[in-house]
Structure 1
Amino acid sequence: MRCILLLFITLVVQLSFAQDTWIRVNQLGYREQAKKVAVWVSKSDLPIHDFVLRDAKSDKVVFKGKPSAPFGAYGAFVQSYRLDFSAVRQKGTYIVEVDGVKSHIIRIADDVYNGTADFALRYMRQQRTLFNPFLKDSCHTHDGFTMYAASVGLPDSTHVDVGGGWHDASDYLQYATTSANATYHLLAAYRDFPHAFTDHKQANGLSGANGVKDVLDEAKWGLDWLLKMHPEPHIMFNQIADDRDHAAMRMPGEDPYYGRGYERPVYFIDGEPQQRGKFLNNTTGTSSTASKFASAFNLGAAIFREKDTDYSQMLTGKARTAFDYAHKKLGVTQTVSVKSPYIYAEDNWVDDMELAYATMYQQTGKQEYLEKALTFAKEEPITPWMVRDTANHYQYYPFINLGHYELAKNLQGEPRQEVISYYKNGIEQVWDRAKQNAFYRGVPFIWCSNNLTVAFAMQCLWYKDLTNDASYDELMQANIDWLFGVNPWGTSMVYGLPAWGDTPVDPHSAFTHLHNYPIDGGLVDGPVYAAIFNNLIGIQLHEQDEYAEFQSDLVVYHDDYGDYSTNEPTMDGTASLIYLLSSQESVQQVKKDEYGAIVQGDGNKKQISLVFTAHDFNDGNETVARVLKKQKVKASFFLTGDFLRNKENQSFINKIRKNHYIGPHSDKHLLYATWENRDSTLVVEEDFKRDLEANYTALASFGIRREEATFFMPSYEWYNHDIVRWANAERIEAVNYTPGLRTAADYTYPEMGTRYMTSEKIFEQLLQTEKEKGLNGHIILIHLGVDKRRKDKLYDRLEDIIQVLRDRGYDFLPINEMLD
């Protein structure tokens, strides 16, 4: 009877957990050597005593751990624990489990952040004004007419050319203060972590490599606009447009809301209070914005010094005049609002001056700049929000003191330690709050709390970089984890990242709301105190709240178009996120193309992967199988469902099944995008997934499980962002042959005219590429069968290819082993 009672109690407890208990994990994953913590939360006050980590493929328990001490209530939950599995460092996929309650699948690998910074750059390009590469169209081409600039000979309504830059958020205002800060972060990301970025875009944002990392192209887009906003030493503008922009949610275009056709107002920086509806803003000087200009120009000049001397020299001159403008009247410049009470109420400026002086020192080496930077550092040692539970909107901006980091790098001895202590003391202020809850949440839930979260993680990162002190590693990781799912709502705060995760789908954005355009990489504002949300003007949720059970009297977050306070993406927050993500990326072991498909393995290893694709032709089956067996080479085969179901191929498939990788290639060999316009997707997501699932069903008939066939080569080797994103959402990795190789031309035949390429020419081109560039990590594609009009088959040269490349020192690996 006692055993039955205990069993009944256990079942009741498990049922209760299943209904009101959750395990929050970082949906991107965890690096192998990093801190790895999940958070268990429940609406029942039930104790837990242990947890396990299971291998997601085998379901075997690989780790048993003890939870932290209970943290008690937080938000909507009455009990919470931290589950630390940092001891697990083996690359793989896992599930955290507590008494039958399981987390989402998590990945442990050093490359879990790889590609994320470039992904977030998509949002920055989408925010471009003047020419917008996402829309392939231009907008706001008439900017703009001056306001408050009569003192410098520009009466109100004088036309000036200030087109360019980025829209600030889901509205189309443009602010110099946020844009200069964003530009600085992008430049710093390129300077500090260049390995994290690729070159797939031209300077105008359209497809095509130009020899410049895409992040630097984007930073230059920001610099070029800042140059327009500071056209003369005595002229500097603070913003384009104002809150009259909010009259309607629309795609960017020409806005007739300001009384001068399609021109928008351009507000001059005069250091005096300016219009704010019935009120004036609290502008006291020119320093805050002008200093940001100077710092961005200085860093840009340093980076472009070896790349474009003339441009670098121009930036150096502009940095000098912007620096002088910052001294025109010491104080803060706030933004202007006409109809609503909401502005960027920046209230501090000495941090901006510190950074400006530090970058002036880096440019000139003049000791006086270093000394003055230290003076300003002492005036604001801790960014004020860190010592407070709340603050006004953008009251303390940037949300991290950038100057402390740049200054400390150039100091020695006691002054250096003093500046570093400022970072430490700020971290400790936040840590005092954070250690009281299981999420280690010490950042206040004010408007744009996610921006503060990114900034705080960066401060922890920079403190460690300056000191080699890892004391705050877990706190830093907790803030990163928060952004990707370790939060009360269990959602990522970055649109589309990861593709398979719970991420925003209904942000406050015209792109998504009106046309369902993805705003990939956009960081949304983030949770706010319930008290703030309940007092904001004009907020109304449009749909049922899918996170209703996780809202509380403390804090709310809504993935709803109607909530501009928690779910609106911001340009400057995303730029800061790009820096943070780039810092987490490992040195890239694989290369991806501009659409996100893997096209090359580790370029440092003499490894090659032979891949074969097949749909309706199978004439090379026996030849390929025989040569691979004779040469003892393992290869990869991407086969369509139609090929797999063809009875003629079943003996061949069974023959290669044991020693080679076999993966999906589309069930019906769908054409995913038009040949003329690759961005034009021909299938909808549901059809893509249905077709892929049918392909896996066909693979399963040969005992090939989905879990062992996670690399997918799109049919026709033709795809776009949509296809790769949809595949990633299914935890499938798209791959393709390495660009520059012509082996894929083995499908051509003489009747194609100039497109036809003989097997001898293909073979020669392959060897010439190896001679000139090497083939490390290359994926070499050969078709398993071709049209009968082609008489010379490249697969007949397979043995020659293997022997020559083996003689040159290459090892042959199946795709899953080379990319693992």
Structure 2
Amino acid sequence: MKKHYLLILLTLLWAFSSAEEPAAWIRINQLGYLPDGIKVAVWGAKSGAMPSSFQLIEASHHKVVYTGSTGKAFGSYGPFTQTCRLNFTSFKKTGTYYLQAGPARSPVFRIGDSVYTGAADIALRYMRQQRSGFNPFLKDSCHTRDGYTMYGPMPDSTYIDVAGGWHDASDYLQYVTTSANAAWHLLAAYRDFPATFGDHYAANGLEGSNHVKDVLDEARWGLDWLLKMHPAKNIMFNQIADDRDHHGMRLPGMDDFYGKGFERPVYFCTGAPQGLGKYKNKSTGVASTAGKFASAFALGYTILRQQDSAYARRLYSRALSAYAMGLRQPGVCQTASVLSPYIYAEENWTDDMELAAATLSDMLRQPQYQQQAWEYAQQEKITPWLGTDTASHYQWYPFINLGHYALARQLDGEKRKAVTGFYKTGIDKVWQKAKQNAFYRGVPFIWCSNNLTTAFAIQCYWYQQLTGDTAFAELEQANTDWLFGCNPWGTSMVYGLPDSGDTPADPHSAFSHLGHYPIDGGLVDGPVYTSIYKNLIGIKLSKPDTYAPFQSDLAVYHDDNGDYSTNEPTMDGTASLVYLLAAKDNESRKKAFSYVHGGIIRGDSTRRELTLVFTGDEFNDGGEAIYEALRQQQTPAAFFLTGKFYANPDNKALIKKLKDAGHYLGPHSDQHLQYCDWSNRDSLLVTRADFEKDLNANYHRMALLGIDRSKARYFLPAYEWYNDSIAAWTKASGRQLICFTPGTRSNADYTFPGMGARYRPSEEIFNSIITTARQQPGGLNGYLLLLHIGSDPRRKDKFYQRLPELITALKNQGYRMVGLETLLK
């Protein structure tokens, strides 16, 4: 009997040991895919033929729900001898699925609107954990004695209070270069996607709501430290500590090896080479640092001026003084070292000054700053690493030109096309490399390759937002997918995201390695060229390599605390990731139109589209001019007209032309009824029977002119004034109530001087629309921009005469004017 059991055991052991390693794998975005987004996985094999098709399979019942062709064979890449892209974008049903291609099966993943929900807030956890001064994660303080000055106008070793800010990575150095960039990204994420973020933490980082979005609390933590580092008009510091920090892995607060107890050196921005030991940097000025200071302060002022005016005034002052220092001392301000040539060897600075000038233009509304930003933009049209195979450590930083986005938002016409063209050219340089492989990988495998990947995805996103051009949408998504598992190693590059996925478990971090603390949300450096890895000093893996089957002569990635080159999380990369994840979460809100009292007042705020809406009752003096402007500009529009307007014989020819041109024609109440009280909106002035009778009469007059009521299902109420009851009655009749998007004052084009303070001249209305288009979060995306087809004769300043100019200006800003049904589909 014992021999029998032994035989069984030996048979099982033999079967296990002789089992073949899988020959093919399917790599996915482990976070999942948006229903209306691009959905692509990558199949890769080490041997065998490429399958001709693949299946999308519902996970719980193992039912095939979609079959697609594997399409083009991309050939070898990294560890794989054959690869292809599995595109299932056309499948939009939410659920839980896996992919099958031949014998290869993917991990299970979700398709749903919420796959990115909360992800940006998770990345913020790492930012809070990186705080210096009071650290809310440890509930303790560190580096409270920063620091003593070097190279300053004051005597060396003078004490200055610069405690605070964020540690740069798993080391505890602190650089203005990365911190100002991080603060700017957090502020921009709040400005552009406020709905994405929660309020679960206080300003000090401890749990508890303070009625401020957590991303804004974190940005302000960075701004507080930056103010300390630029404390006066002509005093600016660049960094705390130096490469002596690389003394060994330790938890924060143990830095007593700089010669003055627990004080650390603080380097003054001189604009000249620095270095306290053998090695000197190659600084040529201060503009790279000054520009980053100025842009963070100016954006902070713009966002915080209404919430905290005293604090905002400090930001205002320091934004101007920092920019002035950059103008006086052009050039790069590199970081300093002592023991080794380890520095951030930044070589560009005009991009920083472009961003500063553009952000100051937003802050001050003074044309000289926009002109200066334009001039700086000509000096670095394309970020130099784009399309190349390599670059030095932080040689071109930030990793994309943020200034182009800030400037393009303000420009019109040819200048706007030129700046967005700079983005397009840079993206296309990467695309020429990326399209050669199945992962669409065109970002070089240098240190912090994940930071470059994140930044490049943001540049693709901004280009599409500025222009409406979707040519690089799949490339953008491929770079996002790469970060979350659609890469040769099949792992997410973000600690703990998703929580049930294959993510870094043993990063190069004292928090996780010594303290055994999770570093949720931290973006690790990412793969490096194998040639780089083999030449690094001091790397020794602490355990067998989990990803050994997927290392190659091209690139390596190790989930091992011993590899500081691929698996160290960085603060600035994570801050950029916060912005990217917020953008992706915002994309999932496409169908979330804005409603007020049951009426749609705005369409999809993620798309650069809007609809021109005209209402009319007794006046029609602008009809012919509006029709002609729309015809010449080839612009669709929607017209909501009362029964009185439709019944007026003088309007018959105009209505026919509008109808023949394909413009939307809808109801606006037959007799232009006021439905509810002006001061008490809940107080109805009509009965339901009155409402329905009047609306049906409106439709009857439309039918007499050949307008099919079944194709006019949207209703815009008279006076643009209604309540929940009116919206409910509209819905009960099989129609949807809509109204205009407020905020631009466009609807004030009916006013005339006799109305006193209510009167709005056309110049004010025009400027208000353009300012909203450029400056407000989301601009005019999804707007129902309401104007009137005519106005009282007492208004001599007719706004419709400026319609051609308005349409041209909006088109130059990248807006598409679409039909109503397109906007609201």
**What is the TM-score when the length of structure 1 is the normalising length?**
0.69
Per the TM alignment, residue 383 of structure 1 is displaced from its structure 2 partner at its CA by 0.3
In structure 2, the partner of 1:596 is none
In 1, are the aligned partners of 2:200 and 2:209 still within 8 Å (CA)?
yes
In 2, are the aligned partners of 1:18 and 1:101 still within 8 Å (CA)?
no
In structure 1, the partner of 2:762 is none
1:52-73 CA distance string (max 9 Å, x none): 0000011100000001211001
In structure 2, the partner of 1:30 is 33
In structure 2, the partner of 1:490 is 490
Q: 1:47 aligns with which of 47, 50, 57?
A: 50
* Structure 1 residue runs of 4 or more that deviate by more than 3 Å after TM superposition: 15-18, 586-589, 602-606
Per the TM alignment, residue 100 of structure 1 is displaced from its structure 2 partner at its CA by 2.7
Unpaired runs of 5+ in structure 2? 1-17, 599-727, 729-825
Q: Percent identity?
A: 62
Letter in 2 for 1:322: A
Is 1:577–2:577 an aligned residue pair? Answer: yes
In 1, are the aligned partners of 2:127 and 2:574 still within 8 Å (CA)?
yes
Give runs of aligned pairs for residues 270-309 of structure 1, distance below 5 A.
270-275=270-275, 277-309=277-309
State how far apart, in whole Å, the 1-side matches of 2:440 and 2:41 are. 11
In structure 1, the partner of 2:178 is 178
Give runs of aligned pairs for residues 434-453 of structure 1, distance below 5 A.
434-453=434-453
Is 1:87–2:63 an aligned residue pair? Answer: no
Q: Are residues 45 and 378 of structure 1, via their aligned partners in 2, closer, same or farther at CA, if it must alter by over 3 Å?
A: farther
Is 1:106–2:122 an aligned residue pair? Answer: no
Give runs of aligned pairs for residues 216-255 of structure 1, distance below 5 A.
216-255=216-255
In structure 1, the partner of 2:100 is 97
Is 1:501–2:504 an aligned residue pair? Answer: no
In 2, are the aligned partners of 1:111 and 1:586 still within 8 Å (CA)?
no
Give runs of aligned pairs for residues 591-740 of structure 1, distance below 5 A.
none
In structure 2, the partner of 1:470 is 470
In 1, are the aligned partners of 2:279 and 2:340 still within 8 Å (CA)?
no
SS in 2 for 1:219: helix
In structure 2, the partner of 1:148 is 151
State how far apart, in whole Å, the 2-side matches of 1:468 and 1:111 are. 24
Per the TM alignment, residue 605 of structure 1 is displaced from its structure 2 partner at its CA by 12
In structure 2, the partner of 1:356 is 356
Letter in 2 for 1:95: Y
Per the TM alignment, residue 276 of structure 1 is displaced from its structure 2 partner at its CA by 6.5
Give runs of aligned pairs for residues 737-756 of structure 1, distance below 5 A.
none
State how far apart, in whole Å, the 2-side matches of 1:526 and 1:250 are. 22
In 2, are the aligned partners of 1:53 and 1:94 still within 8 Å (CA)?
yes
SS in 2 for 1:225: helix
In 1, are the aligned partners of 2:236 and 2:268 still within 8 Å (CA)?
yes
SS in 1 for 2:246: helix
State how far apart, in whole Å, the 1-side matches of 2:19 and 2:35 are. 33
In structure 2, the partner of 1:258 is 258
In structure 2, the partner of 1:399 is 399
SS in 1 for 2:578: helix
In 2, are the aligned partners of 1:541 and 1:560 still within 8 Å (CA)?
yes
In structure 1, the partner of 2:511 is 511
In structure 2, the partner of 1:340 is 340
In 1, are the aligned partners of 2:279 and 2:339 still within 8 Å (CA)?
no
State how far apart, in whole Å, the 2-side matches of 1:537 and 1:369 are. 46
SS in 2 for 1:361: helix
In structure 1, the partner of 2:141 is 138
In 2, are the aligned partners of 1:345 and 1:392 still within 8 Å (CA)?
yes
SS in 1 for 2:410: coil
**What is the TM-score when the length of structure 2 is the normalising length?**
0.69
Q: 1:64 aligns with which of 64, 67, 70?
A: 67
State how far apart, in whole Å, the 2-side matches of 1:290 and 1:123 are. 26
SS in 1 for 2:469: coil
State how far apart, in whole Å, the 2-side matches of 1:604 and 1:123 are. 37
State how far apart, in whole Å, the 2-side matches of 1:254 and 1:485 are. 36
Give runs of aligned pairs for residues 763-778 of structure 1, distance below 5 A.
none
Is 1:375–2:378 an aligned residue pair? Answer: no
In structure 1, the partner of 2:561 is 561
State how far apart, in whole Å, the 1-side matches of 2:104 and 2:549 are. 18
In structure 1, the partner of 2:639 is none
Q: Are residues 485 and 240 of structure 1, via their aligned partners in 2, closer, same or farther at CA, if it must alter by over 3 Å?
A: same
Per the TM alignment, residue 17 of structure 1 is displaced from its structure 2 partner at its CA by 9.2
State how far apart, in whole Å, the 2-side matches of 1:133 and 1:328 are. 39
1:41-98 CA distance string (max 9 Å, x none): 0111412100000000111000000012110011111100100011110000111001
Per the TM alignment, residue 16 of structure 1 is displaced from its structure 2 partner at its CA by 10
In 2, are the aligned partners of 1:54 and 1:95 still within 8 Å (CA)?
yes
Per the TM alignment, residue 387 of structure 1 is displaced from its structure 2 partner at its CA by 3.1
In structure 1, the partner of 2:131 is 128
State how far apart, in whole Å, the 2-side matches of 1:581 and 1:50 are. 32
Per the TM alignment, residue 340 of structure 1 is displaced from its structure 2 partner at its CA by 2.0
Over the aligned positions, Cα root-mean-square deviation in angstroms equals 1.8
1:213-264 CA distance string (max 9 Å, x none): 0000000000000000001111110000011111121100141111111100
SS in 2 for 1:358: helix
Per the TM alignment, residue 279 of structure 1 is displaced from its structure 2 partner at its CA by 2.3
In 1, are the aligned partners of 2:387 and 2:433 still within 8 Å (CA)?
no
Per the TM alignment, residue 372 of structure 1 is displaced from its structure 2 partner at its CA by 1.2
State how far apart, in whole Å, the 1-side matches of 2:588 and 2:139 are. 30
State how far apart, in whole Å, the 2-side matches of 1:310 and 1:512 are. 40
How many correspondences in the alignment? 578
In 2, are the aligned partners of 1:119 and 1:521 still within 8 Å (CA)?
yes
In 2, are the aligned partners of 1:141 and 1:254 still within 8 Å (CA)?
no
State how far apart, in whole Å, the 1-side matches of 2:19 and 2:52 are. 16
Q: Are residues 605 and 26 of structure 1, via their aligned partners in 2, closer, same or farther at CA, if it must alter by over 3 Å?
A: farther
SS in 1 for 2:295: helix
1:686-742 CA distance string (max 9 Å, x none): xxxxxxxxxxxxxxxxxxxxxxxxxxxxxxxxxxxxxxxxxxxxxxxxxxxxxxxxx
Larger radius of gyration: 2
